[in-house]
Structure 1
Amino acid sequence: MSNYAVEMKQTAQAMVASGKGILAMDESNGTCNKRFEKLGIPATEERRRAYRELILTTPGLSEFISGAILYDETIRQSTQAGVSFIKVMQDAGMIPGIKVDTGAKDLAGHPHEKVTEGLDGLRDRIAEYYKMGARFAKWRAVITIGEDIPSRACIEANAHALARYAALCQEGGLVPIVEPEVLIDGNHTIERCYEVTDETLHAVFAQLYRQGVAYNQMILKPSMVISGLACPIQAPAEQVAEMTIQCLLKNVRVNVPGVAFLSGGQSHQQASEHLNIMNAKYRSHCPWQITFSYARAIQQPALETWRGNDANVAQAQQQLLHRAKCNSAASLGQYRAQMEQQLAPV
């Protein structure tokens, strides 16, 4: 058992505390710059820093957000006043987390499939991040549905990497967020998505077991079982909730503290609605907390309001807080569509 076992168990439970979710703000500089460019925001380190300050200093955010996943650049940055972002989070009662993978790369011999890299040197990076104040980490695997894919090789390669990452995290004191994302891109049906998600989760938990990962000191961050974006038949929200929970109950070990979904290209209202139905209808059947770890589904309205202009910070923060509040309600089964109209004017 890791020396950090007690601390990690407490951290994992705090990450999925009732009514709270995890904010994913760990997009790479390249991804962040692309989003900025679309809105005419200068793609500079200073504007990225200013945007992350806007997010982390949002008043009242910690009421709905337990922690945030940072990128390597962000965890080293500070507010304009010189306070490190780690300290800002700790003072607000939010847990700092860090993305540790180095991205999904082409899987040799398997066209159109990816494997996530970043295991080389990971033990040392974990030690550094722990010393800086991070208490959890994230690693994302990407599974694509298409003609004759995913292959068994792709699923197994990603499951193995996720498990080795998780074991290294627990050795070094960081709670691993295990994120196997079955992409929403494609014209596949919800039934096909279920099959692939089922196979993926089965493989991931088999590898976690083999690598000796403690289930009660990790968080699962899966995608929902949902129709592909280009599928002519889009499954209704009730079916998404039912099939997702069914798939999780079949595969996720009972002592995992929480399941924190990624939004994965859903609209922000869809992401809230699906999470809400899962909690309203199926919470009593589930041994783990069911919550969110969203990125765009929380941040996008704030980014569009801010547009790189410091005069818009307060209004953008209000948008961010509103989305966090809606998803907090969804994690309790208390979200209603009318809440979307309740954003008070600035």
Structure 2
Amino acid sequence: MDQKKLQRAAAAKAFIAALDQSGGSTPKALAAYGVEKSEYSTDQEMFDKVHEMRTRIIKSPAFTSEHILGAILFENTMERTIDGELTADYLWNKKAILPFLKVDKGLADLSNGVQLMKPISGLDELLQRAVKRNIFGTKMRSVIKETNPSGIKEIVRQQFEIGKQIAAAGLVPIIEPEVDIHSQNRAESEKFLKDEILNQTAQLHSDTKIMLKLSIPVVDNFYSDLITGQPNIIRVVALSGGFSRKDANEKLARNHGLIASFSRALAEGLSVRQSDEEFNACLAASIKSIYNASIT
């Protein structure tokens, strides 16, 4: 593991941009950007459109390492180029921004109040490619819908089991057991979740480094004991979870040491029809507001 990159991941005053919309969520992301389904007819054309959007974000003068720690990419994006360089190389070489890769294949059906990850076929091969493509870390998401202790235990166990496989390949896994912000008894779910994360973290080898991506908690600073005092956990980041950028920023700012890893909230207000000046100004304002909420 590159110690310079590891140190940046652990200590930089910045946040992570989630640019990893995959097949299922891409049409919604494109529609929010102003690209309608009528403007593409195949998956290839759809992914071309979303890569154009991601490239515009990444190349923007507002998208710099001063505010951005890392960017999470979709597998399709990892294999594409920006100005002749593979996306991960462009991010690090031109922007000093760490590249992460989404590795999960989506969610299984609801069971025991949670949605586990679907089996990740070909994970070893994907991790080998990620290492060759100079990816720093990975991200994988599962979702807690109900306060079900056995379901929450299973979701964390699955995340850590795969996380150890990812770490063994030389990458830093972002473990993301999201608690649905619309679920009932969310604070109780977060309590069971934290206890199980601490239990699994205690079983990690001292050399294994992980990151966590969690919903912004109901109780401010609830995850402070994960943010500090856990040598295996180098960073805890937060998803916006469906909150507007304004609401997500307000909640995030009350949680000291927790930094953003926003997707929809980051791209809110961006449009394919904006001039470059308008686009860059809108993105700069979004980045600055998320940054300010992340450094509290």
Q: Which TM-score band (shorter chain)?
A: 0.7 to 0.9
| Structure 2 residue ranges without an equivalent (≥5) | 41-45
Task: Give matches, 1:237-252, under 5 Å.
Answer: 243-249=219-225
Q: CA deviation at 1:112?
A: 5.8
Q: CA deviation at 1:123?
A: 2.2
The one of 157, 174, 177 equivalent to 1:177 is 174
Q: Counting helix residues as a fraction of each chain, which structure ranks higher?
A: 1
Structure 2 match to 1:165: 162
The one of 210, 222, 229 equivalent to 2:214 is 222
Q: CA deviation at 1:251?
A: 9.1
In structure 2, how many angstroms separate the alpha carbons of the residues matched to 1:33 and 1:250? Answer: 35
Correspondence 1:259 to 2:259: no
Secondary structure of the 1:260 match is strand
The alignment's TM-score, normalised by the length of structure 2, stands at 0.87
In structure 1, how many angstroms separate the alpha carbons of the residues matched to 2:210 and 2:6? Answer: 6
| Structure 1 residue ranges without an equivalent (≥5) | 227-242, 280-288, 334-346
Structure 2 match to 1:322: 285
1:300–1:138 CA distance, 2 compared to 1 (3 A): same
1:179–1:252 CA distance, 2 compared to 1 (3 A): farther
For residue 134 of structure 2, what is the amino acid of its counterpart? G
Q: Is the 8 A contact 1:178 1:218 kept in 2?
A: yes
Task: Give matches, 1:47-62, under 5 Å.
Answer: 47-62=49-64
1:199–1:214 CA distance, 2 compared to 1 (3 A): farther
Q: Is the 8 A contact 2:227 2:258 kept in 1?
A: no
Structure 2 match to 1:153: 150
Structure 2 match to 1:286: none
Q: CA deviation at 1:132?
A: 0.6
Task: Give matches, 1:65-84, under 5 Å.
Answer: 65-79=68-82, 81-84=83-86
Deviation by residue 1:87-146 (Cα, 9 ceiling, x = unmatched): 321211111110011111115xx376311124443222111101111011011120003x
Secondary structure of the 1:178 match is strand
Q: CA deviation at 1:155?
A: 1.2
Structure 2 match to 1:207: 200
In structure 1, how many angstroms separate the alpha carbons of the residues matched to 2:28 and 2:62? Answer: 29
In structure 1, how many angstroms separate the alpha carbons of the residues matched to 2:178 and 2:228? Answer: 15
Deviation by residue 1:181-217 (Cα, 9 ceiling, x = unmatched): 100124x3xxx222111101221332344354756x2
Secondary structure of the 2:24 match is helix
Secondary structure of the 1:67 match is strand
Secondary structure of the 1:137 match is strand
Single out whichever of 122-131 and 92-101 deviates more from structure 2. Answer: 122-131
Structure 2 match to 1:46: 48
Structure 2 match to 1:135: 136
Q: CA deviation at 1:45?
A: 2.2
Secondary structure of the 1:140 match is strand
1:247–1:84 CA distance, 2 compared to 1 (3 A): closer
For residue 251 of structure 2, what is the amino acid of its counterpart? H
Q: Is the 8 A contact 1:139 1:165 kept in 2?
A: no
In structure 1, how many angstroms separate the alpha carbons of the residues matched to 2:113 and 2:255? Answer: 32
In structure 2, how many angstroms separate the alpha carbons of the residues matched to 1:211 and 1:318? Answer: 44
For residue 58 of structure 2, what is the amino acid of its counterpart? L
Structure 2 match to 1:337: none
Structure 2 match to 1:294: 262
Q: Is the 8 A contact 2:113 2:148 kept in 1?
A: no
How many residues of Structure 1 are paired with residues of Structure 2 in the alignment? 285
Q: CA deviation at 1:253?
A: 4.8
Correspondence 1:34 to 2:2: no
Give the 4+ runs in structure 1 shifted more than 4 A: 250-253
For residue 13 of structure 1, what is the amino acid of its counterpart? Q
In structure 2, how many angstroms separate the alpha carbons of the residues matched to 1:118 and 1:244? Answer: 34
For residue 213 of structure 2, what is the amino acid of its counterpart? K
Q: CA deviation at 1:274?
A: 1.8
Deviation by residue 1:119-178 (Cα, 9 ceiling, x = unmatched): 443222111101111011011120003xxxx32332122111110121111111111111
- Specify the structure having the higher radius of gyration (Cα): 1
Structure 2 match to 1:197: 190
In structure 2, how many angstroms separate the alpha carbons of the residues matched to 1:290 and 1:164? Answer: 24
